[in-house]
A = this chain, B = another copy of it.
Amino acid sequence: MRAETAYDELIQRVREETLLTSCEALLEWDEETYMPPGGVENRSEQLALLAGLLHERGTDPKIGELLAELERSDLVADPRSPVSVNIRELRREYDRYVRLPRRLVEEVARTTALAQTAWAQARAASQFKGFRPWLDKIIALKRDEAECVGYSGEPYDALIEDHEPGIDSRILARLFDALRQNLVQLAAEIAERPALPPAPRGPFPVDQQRSFGEMVAVVAGFDRRRGRFDLGVHPSCSGIGPGDCRLVLRFDQGDLVGGVLTILHEVGHGLYEQGLDPSYYGTPMGESASVSMDEAQARLWENRVGRSPGFWRYFYPRCRELFPDALRGYGLDRFVLAVNQVKATLIRVNADEVTYNLHILVRFELERALMSGDLKSADVPEAWNAAYRRYLGVVPPNDREGCLQDGHWADGLIGYFPTYTLGDVFAAQLFAQAESELGDLESQFAQGEFAELAGWLRRKVYREGSRYPSARLIELVTGSPPNQRPLIDALRNKYARLYRL
């Protein structure tokens, strides 16, 4: 067989797998947004079947043969060519996939579909014990997964590797160590200063927040002809396919700022998704570089854009028109201070920039201990609360505001949380580089102008797909390998100014 023919066959197979994955994505989006309660059993069976089909196709020995043939051919001569990139990444995925038995991937799909409902009910009742058997089952399945795919250090590493190749728990522990020292210190200095004004409490009716938030998303560059917005319990961005990217949002009528930052977070994911090259759809060259690079886009838009004075200079007048009573007495300057208030609190998704990564640290430590067996699921609430006391100085009064607040574990996403912190690190590096090339971005934001930043990200990051591993991409774009210093510096500079440290 000629190499070109082998490549065409490989890509044809992979594109079909992507189509099946996009069916999965729609089923999962629907489960989060519209599915009636009675549909959950069938949904879990549908997802298990699709997972099984994907496994059957993704582990077909024919793929291994095609890859082996292509790896010996001239097609891989230039490692940066799209063909080489696709072969490299498909090899990585295939080698992982063939180690997982079909029974296991089906069971993970079935279990996590059911566990989401159990988690939502346990969270509503604020009782961890309703979720505990599901967590046990998921941890057991994830341990099986780790044993199947293998790891050099500890089982948790196998899961991290799935989300961020090249990273392991020791690297993360060092990163969190550096961040913890700096951030705990910075938070402590801030806590000694007078508090900034608290955010206004509303009420901000959800319908109006939603239409305002959708307008913000569109101004930021989200294309709603190729996407949409819906409400759900857990905010998310689903790429259903090229031309179909869906943001799931959540609004709280007491929290205008949180609603806007949430939408900007998901818009960051959405711009990446919508900015990928559609001609490579269905292949690694048309996919994001890594989960952390994806989170970097979300964190960049949420924090570097959404917490900036320039952003609010443009949007705040519109807020005051929409919510005149609730914002009475809040001038722009006061509002911007409120947006940037630093205060250790209980809920990750509402956390400020300084303490956010301490929330992630808690999850990292607990996940790692659950996977190693050092922590029993029954002890999760206590361990969670102790870690919050240790790093943030606050203690959740109940499980809903404690260990039940996130749906990730119910989704089977163990080893995912650290990608938020890696994403934060990448985002700070990318934003600093963008400013050094494009000049002062905030003055553009103040004009409602986000296209230059979005265009830079599209050219430098989105269009590259998976051409480079994320660490390499960061180095190529910013001139420096992954490094927490720009994040720490950005936070210290910003908050030293705001809090007059």
Contacts and interface: CB of A to CB of B under 8 A. Distances in A.
25 contacts: A19-B45, A22-B42, A23-B46, A23-B50, A26-B26, A26-B27, A34-B228, A34-B230, A35-B244, A36-B225, A36-B226, A38-B223, A38-B225, A38-B226, A38-B227, A38-B244, A39-B226, A39-B244, A40-B243, A41-B242, A41-B243, A42-B242, A43-B241, A46-B241, A53-B53
Contacts of A34: 34, 228, 230
Given A38-B227, A38-B243, 7 more contacts: A16-B49, A19-B45, A34-B34, A36-B225, A36-B243, A41-B243, A43-B241
Interface string A207-240: 0000000000000000111111010000000001
The 3 closest A-B pairs by CB, nearest first: A38-B243, A42-B241, A39-B244
B243 A42 contact: yes
Contacts of A65: none
Contacts of A227: 36, 38
Contacts of A4: none
A35 B29 CA distance: 12
A397 interface: no
Contacts of A22: 42, 46
Contacts of A36: 224-228, 243-244, 246
Contacts of A49: 16, 19-20
A246 B240 CA distance: 21
A27 B37 CA distance: 19
A225 B37 contact: yes
Among A38, A40, A228, the most chain B Cβ lie within 10 Å of the Cβ of: A38
B243 A39 contact: yes
Contact of A42 (B20, B45, B240, B246): B240
Interface in A239-271: 240-244, 246
A69 interface: no
Contacts of A27: 23, 26
Nearest to A19: B49
A8 interface: no
Nearest to A228: B36
Main secondary structure of the interface of A (DSSP, over half): helix
Interface of A: 16, 19-20, 22-23, 26-27, 30, 34-43, 45-46, 49-50, 53, 223-228, 230, 240-244, 246
A87 to B, nearest CB: 23
Contacts of A19: 42, 45-46, 49
B240 A39 contact: yes
A277 to B, nearest CB: 15
Contacts of A40: 243
Nearest to A281: B42
Among A16, A26, A27, A40, the most chain B Cβ lie within 10 Å of the Cβ of: A26
A244 B240 CA distance: 21
A37 to B, nearest CB: 5
Contacts of A241: 39, 42-43, 45-46
Contact of A30 (B26, B223, B225, B242): B26
A35 B30 CA distance: 11
A220 B43 CA distance: 27
Among A41, A224, A243, the most chain B Cβ lie within 10 Å of the Cβ of: A243
Contacts of A20: 49
A50 to B, nearest CB: 7
A387 B38 CA distance: 45
Contacts of A244: 35-36, 38-39, 42-43
Among A26, A39, A45, the most chain B Cβ lie within 10 Å of the Cβ of: A39
A467 B46 CA distance: 26
A46 B242 CA distance: 12
A235 to B, nearest CB: 17
Contacts of A39: 226, 240-241, 243-244
A45 to B, nearest CB: 6
A305 to B, nearest CB: 24
Contacts of A230: 34
A47 to B, nearest CB: 9
A48 to B, nearest CB: 9
A146 B385 CA distance: 67
Nearest to A33: B34
A103 to B, nearest CB: 15
A360 B224 CA distance: 38
